[in-house]
Amino acid sequence: MEMEEAGRIDHLSGERQKAQFDLQPMRVLLAGGEHELDVAQRVAAIVARDPVFSKANRTRLSREELYKNSLRKASHGWKLIQQLKLTEEEAFKLRSLVDEPTFTDLHWGMFVPAIKGQATDEQQKYWLPLAYKMAVIGCYAQTELGHGSNVQGLETTATFDPATDEFVMNSPNLTSTKWWPGGLGKASTHALVYARLITDNHDYGIHAFIVQIRSLDDHKPLPGVTVADIGVKFGNAGYNTMDNGLLRFDQVRIPRNNMLMKLAKVTKEGKYISSDVPKQLAYGAMVYVRQSIVSDASVYLSRAVTIAVRYSCVRRQFGGQGNDPETQVIDYKTQQHRLFPLLATTYAYRIVGQWLKWLYSDVMNRLESYDFSTLPEVHACTSGLKSLTTSVAADGIEECRKLCGGHGYLCSSGLPELYAAYVPACTYEGDNVVLLLQVARFLLKTLSQLGGGVKPVGTASYLGNLPVLTKQGSRVSQGTDWLDHSNLLYAFEARAARLALVAAQLVQKAGNEAGFEQHSIELIEAARAHCELMVLSKFVERLQRGVPGRGVQRQLDILCEVYGLFLLVSRAGDFLSTGCLTPTQVALAKQQLQNLYTEVRPNAVALVDAFGHTDHYLGSILGRYDGDVYPNLYKDAWEEPLNKTVVTDGYEEYIRPILKQEFLPSRKARL
């Protein structure tokens, strides 16, 4: 943020002066409100000025140093949260701005919500106070070495023993080893464990149990518990600050009451009783987690885009005549064509994320009055948006790295670690392919119910217009028609509807479940089209409500059009093969898209400034607010541990003998 830059020369001030809109209202919009912006700015300032949170040396530490330092940050963060009496919202913000994956993420993000969702009121009264003051540290142990997405395939067992009123937790084989849970490897004292509940010689399937795994006195694993870190992951720092763990039980006994019993319970006698609480009530937690993942997708992508936009203004290449400087790479069309759509995507995801926040509160309100009618649609839309946004954000971060040329490959660019830390989002909380297939299943069901007169709701309501969408082409006849958002929207609706219909017909022809698998490629395509439409339509809807501030609405209009037209051009095959558009209409879209780049160009730096990332949070020399890249790259190189010595360690042993020809066979013969 600018305050950090006082007294320094701003090499990008020329770029900032070109902006055609007011920064402050754009910041408010992106933050989600005045209050949210205020919280973000206050907490960001606390984090940025605290030396404990420095990220400067991260990629130069060994795993052990790195991990210990992440514990230090987590502990310091918790201390600040307590001593500054931060609100829950501020505490959450602080953890995310510290920007280092650590065990507290799982404690607050998974352990606590799971207790809230699955424990009885009584159980919550016991566990939540302990969790809130972190007298216990919890993690979420679901996946196993041999089992990921298919929760029903988990092999860990929890067998009830009425003689002692206990469950016996056991890992019957190697593949049942719990594997991946964050915070498990070295930090947590408790784990929320998913296991097959067995009582009365009957397997009742997967249920949740709280299992203490480490002593609260000396932190040693309890008897029968084998626990460790699973080893190094992608990237230098990246996710290696997290102790993703493995966990095995050898007949570990826990009190019966450690089973979370909101949805089902086991009596003292070992009788299994389903509760009359509708299972759907647990659904709120999943919506919450997914909406935060979507909102994170925008945040992570916005960091990469900020770095790439700023450095593309600093970096120059070719084109300078005589003594003129070379051309800024951001002025090249090829650079704009890769970068500006990602900028637009970041804005689009921010807006759809805000809408999901609203959806979450809507779902919670409905659940309170046992209204489950919207849940299938909500499930499809959160699954789909999680899948779409994380995939695109991960690829987009890596694309931004490539857009920075060779220097993007240096860890001091911040981009390699950003990618490495972000990309697991494509896998956790639902593998992205599996999720798209769930969206497809919803689309098939919606289509099959149309005949019965069931009117699709929410994000699927366009399917109610199927007869028109599958017949009527686009009205676009000249380039500027594409700037009419209703034309954009219609094209996306028609494409999604037609792809869904084609897939449905294929599956129907096969006539059974095998048909679903057999045509899964087409189903995935239909699901993706549906998700891309959702993002576009939420963007358009938001703009229809109007946005205050000089020039702000205009910029958002442009970004919305860039988002839509870029996708349209990239997926031209879909639009053309389904007959939604003619080749001429696609060509007009291409042309219009390139015109829009010219409008984005002068605003690019201000549009990324509006994300409001501090230099601390970006952690990137290429993305520095002041654009002072090269002197700082040079300075940073000297921090490399290899540069501590002038003559490298290994010279005497390995280089000198080469130079002195000590390996020549003739010499060997002489010895």
Q: Catalogue the active-site residues.
A: 429
Phi-psi region of 15 (alpha: psi -120 to 50; beta: other; left: phi over 0): alpha
Where are the strands (E) in 5-105, listed by range? none
In the region spanning residues 155 to 184, those forming contacts with a second copy, defined by CB under 8 A, are: 174-175, 177, 180
Nearer to a second copy (CB atom), residue 110 or residue 437: 437
671 binds a second copy (CB under 8 A): no
Nearer to a second copy (CB atom), residue 15 or residue 144: 144
8 Å CB contact between 535 and 449: no
**Per-residue string for binding with a second copy, 187-206, x by CB under 8 A?**
x-x-----------------
C-alpha 93/C-alpha 461 separation (Å) is 35
Select from 402, 455, 471, 550 the one that contacts a second copy (CB under 8 A).
402
C-alpha 283/C-alpha 286 separation (Å) is 6
In the region spanning residues 58 to 77, those forming contacts with a second copy, defined by CB under 8 A, are: 59-60, 62-64, 67-68, 71-72, 74-75
Handedness of CA 510, 513, 519, 524 (dihedral sign): positive
DSSP letters along 637-659, please? Answer: HTTSGGGGSSSPTTIIIIIHHHH
**Per-residue string for binding with a second copy, 549-578, x by CB under 8 A?**
--------------------xxxxxxxxxx
CB contact burial 561-597 (16+ within 10 A = b; e otherwise): bbbbbbbbbebbebbeebebbeeebbebbbebbeebb
- The least distance separating a second copy from the CB of residue 147, rounded to whole angstroms, comes to 8
The window from 312-320, 459-467, 476-484, 530-538 that contacts a second copy (CB under 8 A) reads 312-320
Query: If we measure between CA atoms, which residue out of 543, 594, 539 comes closest to residue 565?
Result: 594
- The least distance separating a second copy from the CB of residue 19, rounded to whole angstroms, comes to 24
623 binds a second copy (CB under 8 A): no
Select from 251, 361, 480, 643 the one that contacts a second copy (CB under 8 A).
643
Nearer to a second copy (CB atom), residue 67 or residue 167: 67
Select from 205, 223, 473, 579 the one that contacts a second copy (CB under 8 A).
579
Nearer to a second copy (CB atom), residue 137 or residue 308: 137
230 binds a second copy (CB under 8 A): yes
In the region spanning residues 236 to 295, those forming contacts with a second copy, defined by CB under 8 A, are: 236, 239, 243, 246
- The least distance separating a second copy from the CB of residue 82, rounded to whole angstroms, comes to 5
524 binds a second copy (CB under 8 A): yes
Q: Token pair of 330, please? A: 């951001």
630 binds a second copy (CB under 8 A): yes
The window from 112-120, 358-366, 452-460, 631-639 that contacts a second copy (CB under 8 A) reads 631-639
Select from 234, 328, 375, 438 the one that contacts a second copy (CB under 8 A).
234
517 binds a second copy (CB under 8 A): yes
51 binds a second copy (CB under 8 A): no
Select from 221, 255, 278, 473 the one that contacts a second copy (CB under 8 A).
221
C-alpha 424/C-alpha 300 separation (Å) is 12
C-alpha 386/C-alpha 527 separation (Å) is 12
Q: Token pair of 385, please? A: 């948006």
Chain centroid to CA 128: 27
- The least distance separating a second copy from the CB of residue 422, rounded to whole angstroms, comes to 11
C-alpha 620/C-alpha 638 separation (Å) is 16
- The least distance separating a second copy from the CB of residue 249, rounded to whole angstroms, comes to 15
Give how many residues touch a second copy by CB under 8 A: 133
Nearer to a second copy (CB atom), residue 190 or residue 256: 190
- What is the SS3 string spanning 500-545? HHHHHHHHHHHCCHHHHHHCHHHHHHHHHHHHHHHHHHHHHHHHHC
Amino acid identity for residue 134 in this structure: M
In the region spanning residues 446 to 485, those forming contacts with a second copy, defined by CB under 8 A, are: none
The window from 303-311, 461-469, 482-490, 517-525 that contacts a second copy (CB under 8 A) reads 517-525
The window from 16-24, 80-88, 376-384, 474-482 that contacts a second copy (CB under 8 A) reads 80-88
Q: Token pair of 16, please? A: 């900032």
Between the alpha carbon of residue 109 and those of residues 101, 378, 634, the distances in Å are: 12, 21, 39
C-alpha 184/C-alpha 143 separation (Å) is 12
Nearer to a second copy (CB atom), residue 275 or residue 505: 505
Query: If we measure between CA atoms, which residue out of 121, 76, 72 comes closest to residue 94?
Result: 76
Question: Which residue stretches of 545-664 are H helix?
Answer: 552-570, 572-577, 583-600, 604-609, 615-618, 629-637, 656-659
In the region spanning residues 318 to 337, those forming contacts with a second copy, defined by CB under 8 A, are: 318, 320, 326, 332-334, 337
The window from 37-45, 56-64, 199-207, 532-540 that contacts a second copy (CB under 8 A) reads 56-64
C-alpha 403/C-alpha 306 separation (Å) is 12
Select from 228, 457, 483, 547 the one that contacts a second copy (CB under 8 A).
228
Nearer to a second copy (CB atom), residue 126 or residue 428: 428
Select from 7, 51, 453, 665 the one that contacts a second copy (CB under 8 A).
665
Long-range contacts of 213-216, Cβ-Cβ distance < 8 Å, separation of 24 or more: 213/184, 213/188, 213/189, 213/247, 214/188, 214/189, 215/189, 216/135, 216/136, 216/189
Nearer to a second copy (CB atom), residue 253 or residue 337: 337
128 binds a second copy (CB under 8 A): no
Select from 113, 405, 479, 551 the one that contacts a second copy (CB under 8 A).
405
The window from 259-267, 345-353, 400-408, 459-467 that contacts a second copy (CB under 8 A) reads 400-408
233 binds a second copy (CB under 8 A): yes
8 Å CB contact between 530 and 494: no
- The least distance separating a second copy from the CB of residue 98, rounded to whole angstroms, comes to 14
Between the alpha carbon of residue 580 and those of residues 48, 79, 526, 531, 593, the distances in Å are: 50, 58, 14, 17, 19
In the region spanning residues 589 to 608, those forming contacts with a second copy, defined by CB under 8 A, are: 594
8 Å CB contact between 447 and 467: no
16 binds a second copy (CB under 8 A): no
Name beta bridge partners: 168. 159, 253
- The least distance separating a second copy from the CB of residue 442, rounded to whole angstroms, comes to 17
Phi-psi region of 180 (alpha: psi -120 to 50; beta: other; left: phi over 0): left
Select from 33, 129, 231, 467 the one that contacts a second copy (CB under 8 A).
231
The window from 11-19, 252-260, 453-461, 630-638 that contacts a second copy (CB under 8 A) reads 630-638
Phi-psi region of 288 (alpha: psi -120 to 50; beta: other; left: phi over 0): alpha
